A and B are shown apart, each in its own frame.
Chain A
C-alpha cells in the first residue's frame, strides 16, 4: 500500500486533493515568480479563475509596495539565498481581481527537487480579523469616551480596593486627577466611621460571596469637602468565574442630603416657633395651672403661720401642712417641666414613640387649655397600640393644635361638651389617630385653603397651625386628612403615621 501510494500518480492525486480541500489559498510559483498552481481557495479569495493566473507573474496578486518589489525579492534570494519571508510568515496586502486590496497572512515555503525549483505560498485572508480588531479598538475608544462623558462617577478597583482607573466624573467628584486617584485605596477616601462597613463589603466582593453591594457613605474630596454618596460596587469576574476586579459607581447625594437637612432644620425651627405660639395662646391656661398650686402654697403657708403661733398648735398639723405644701410645689414644677419639654428644640423624627404614653401625656397638656373652655377631652384607645416612628414633641404639637382648633370650633358656650381623641392600628404599617369635635364643621371654601400658611378662620389666628401640622406630619412620612365626624357631627381630623415595623419610606 505504501509503495502504491508513492507512485507519481498517487503523489499527484494527493497533492491535488490537498490543494482542493485547503481553506487557505495555496499558490505555487517558479523561481521567476510565474504562477504554477492556483487552488480553489485562492480563486475564491482573489476573484480570478486559475487559468487567468497560471503562467502570470504572481505580483499581479499583490498590493504595493510588494507588487513592484516582488521580482527584486526573488532575484535577491536567488543571488544571495537571503530569505526575508521564508519560514516566517508575515502580514502583507493582497490585490483582488477587482483591484480591491485586503490584508492577508502569508507564509512561504521553498520547493526543492534537487535544486530550488520554486516556492509555495499559503495565504489566509485576515480582513475579517482586522475588521474585528478595528471594531474592538473602536469600541474601546468609544467606551473610554463614554466613561469620560458619563455623568456618573465610575472607578475600577483591584480586589483589595486599590483604584486602577477613574473616569472624568469620578475625578471631578473627588476634585483630583486620575493620576492622584490611581493606586490609592478607595477606602481612604471614606470618612473613618464609614470604613469598617465598606471594608466588610469589599471582603465579601473579593471573595466572590456577593456580586454587588450598595452603601450610603460620606467621603472627603481631595480638598476635604464632605461628600454624601451612594456607592455601588459590582464584582467583575473573569471568564472562569473568578473575581477579577471591582467596578465602583458613586452617586453624589450631597446637594440632596444638604437640602433635606436644611428643610428638616427649617421645619424644626418652624415647629419650634409654632410650639411657642401655641404656648402663647395657652398662656392663660398655663398661668392657671401654675397659679392653682401657688395659691394653695401661699394659703397653706399663711394658715400654718397663724396656727403655729397658737400655744395648742400640734406638731403633726405643722408637718402635715408642710407635706401638703411640698406636694403643691411638685405639682407646679410638673407643669413647668411639661412645658419645658414641649419647647425643647432638639428633635429626632426617627426615634420611637409609644402612642399610649404620648396620648396620655398629651391629654394632661390639652386639658390645661380645655378646662378654660369648659370642655372635656375623652381619650379612647385600645390597651395595645403599635410603636411608631417619630418625634414625641412634634406629634404632641400637631395633636394639641388639632384639639385647640376643635375647642375653638365648639365655642365657649357648650360647657361639658366632649372632644374625642382615638387611636388604633390600621393594618400592619399604620397608626390612625383621630380628633373629633361637635363644631360646625369645615366649609368647602375653607377646606381648599386649610393647610396653607397664613390662612385662618379665627379673627386672632396667625394661620400657621395647620400648615405647620402638615409639614410635621409630612416629615414623619405620614398623612393628615379631614372630614366629617361620624360620631360627633363636627369635624374629624385623621392622622396616619407609619408604625415602627413599617417598611421605610
Chain B
C-alpha cells in the first residue's frame, strides 16, 4: 500500500493586502496550520515552495499578475495544490471562471464565521487524498514497468477482453504459455481480481 504523507500541511497565502494576508495567516496558526505569506503572484512563483501537502489561498485581484493569471501559471507548471480563491463581491464572474479551470472553491470577503477555515481544511484533505491517489498511481506505474514486453502484450489483450485462446493465436504462442504469462501479470501487478487489474490499467491510461 502507498504510504500516506503525514508531514504537516502548509497553507500558502497570496494576497497583496498586508492586513488581510497577515490576519489569514494568524487564523491558520490559531488552528495549528502553518501558513506562508506571499505579497504577490511573482513572490509566490519566485519562492517556488516545496511540493508538500497543503493548499493555496489566492486573492483574485492583485496588481501585476492577478490571482487568476497565477492560477493558470500554476496549472502550466503542474503545481497541484488545491487553490481556494478569495474574492470581493464584484469578482464573482472571475471566480466562476476560476472554478471552470479547476479551482477548488471560492470564498467571498468578508468571510462568514468558520467558512474559510472549513474550506481550507477541506482543501488540505483533498490535497492529501490526491497525494495518496497519486502515490498509488506512481506505484501502479512502477509495477507496469516491471512487466516484460511479452507480459505487457498479454496484459493489453486481457484488458481488451480477449480470451486466452485468442491471445495464444495472436501472439503465436501456446495457450499454456499465455496462462503462465497471465499469472505472472496478476502477481506482479498485485491484482486482486481481473476487474482490479483492468481498473489499475485504466487509471494509468487516464493520467
Contacts and interface: CB of A to CB of B under 8 A. Distances in A.
Interface of A: 284, 287-288, 291-300, 302-304, 306-307, 321, 324, 327-328, 331, 371-372, 374, 376, 415-416
Contacts of A331: 19
Contact of A306 (B20, B23, B31, B88): B31
A328 B27 CA distance: 16
Given A294-B110, A372-B61, A376-B63, A306 B19 contact: no
Q: Which 8 A-B pairs have the closest CB atoms?
A: A299-B23, A296-B19, A306-B30, A284-B90, A303-B27, A295-B109, A303-B26, A295-B110
B190 to A, nearest CB: 44
Given A284-B90, A372-B61, A293 B19 contact: yes
A240 B163 CA distance: 143
Contact of B63 (A296, A297, A416): A416
A328 B19 contact: yes
Q: Is the interface of A mostly helix, strand, loop or mixed?
A: helix
Given A296-B20, A324-B23, A415 B30 contact: no
A321 B22 CA distance: 10
A295 B26 CA distance: 13
B20 A292 contact: yes
Contacts of A299: 20, 23-24, 26-27, 110-111, 116
Contacts of B26: 299-300, 303-304, 307, 321
B66 interface: yes
A299 B64 CA distance: 25
Contacts of A294: 109-110
B64 A295 contact: no
B18 to A, nearest CB: 9
A88 to B, nearest CB: 111
Contacts of B29: 303, 307
B17 interface: yes
Nearest to A287: B89
A303 B31 CA distance: 8
Nearest to A307: B30
Nearest to A284: B90
Contacts of B17: 292, 296
Interface string B107-121: 001110110110000
Interface in B76-105: 88-90
A36 to B, nearest CB: 125
A292 B109 contact: yes
Interface in B134-160: none
Contacts of A321: 26
Contacts of B24: 299
A80 B122 CA distance: 150
Q: Determine the interface band of chain B, counting residues with CB < 8 A from chain A.
A: 20 to 34
B22 A371 contact: no
Interface of B: 17, 19-20, 22-24, 26-27, 29-31, 61, 63-66, 88-90, 109-111, 113-114, 116-117
B161 to A, nearest CB: 52
Contacts of B89: 284, 287, 291
Nearest to A371: B63
B45 to A, nearest CB: 16
B23 A295 contact: yes
Contacts of A327: 19
A295 B90 contact: no
Contacts of A287: 88-90
Nearest to B86: A295
Contacts of B88: 284, 287-288, 291
A291 B66 CA distance: 18
A324 B22 contact: yes
A303 B20 contact: no
Contacts of B64: 415-416
B30 A296 contact: no
A260 B163 CA distance: 101
Given A374-B66, A376-B63, A415-B64, A302 B113 contact: yes
A372 B88 CA distance: 11
Chain B CB within 10 Å — which of A284, A288, A296, A307 has the most?
A296
A293 B109 CA distance: 10
B90 A296 contact: no
B33 to A, nearest CB: 11
Contact of A295 (B20, B63, B113, B114): B20
A431 B157 CA distance: 85
A292 B19 contact: yes
Contacts of A415: 63-66
Contacts of A298: 110-111
Nearest to B23: A299
A141 B116 CA distance: 97
A261 B61 CA distance: 46
B86 to A, nearest CB: 8
A333 B114 CA distance: 26
A5 B109 CA distance: 136
Nearest to A294: B110
Contacts of B113: 302
B65 to A, nearest CB: 8
B109 to A, nearest CB: 4
A324 B61 contact: no
Contacts of A284: 88-90
A448 to B, nearest CB: 35
A397 to B, nearest CB: 23
A327 B116 CA distance: 23
Nearest to B19: A296
Contacts of B110: 291, 294-295, 297-299
Contacts of B31: 306
A300 B111 CA distance: 11
Given A291-B88, A295-B23, A300-B26, 18 more contacts: A284-B90, A288-B88, A293-B19, A294-B109, A295-B111, A298-B110, A299-B24, A299-B111, A302-B27, A302-B113, A302-B114, A303-B27, A306-B31, A327-B19, A328-B19, A415-B65, A415-B66, A416-B63
A30 to B, nearest CB: 128
B120 to A, nearest CB: 12
B19 A303 contact: no
A373 B179 CA distance: 67
5 contacts: A299-B24, A299-B116, A303-B23, A324-B22, A415-B65
A296 B109 CA distance: 9
Given A303-B30, A321-B26, A415-B64, A291 B19 contact: no
A462 B65 CA distance: 32
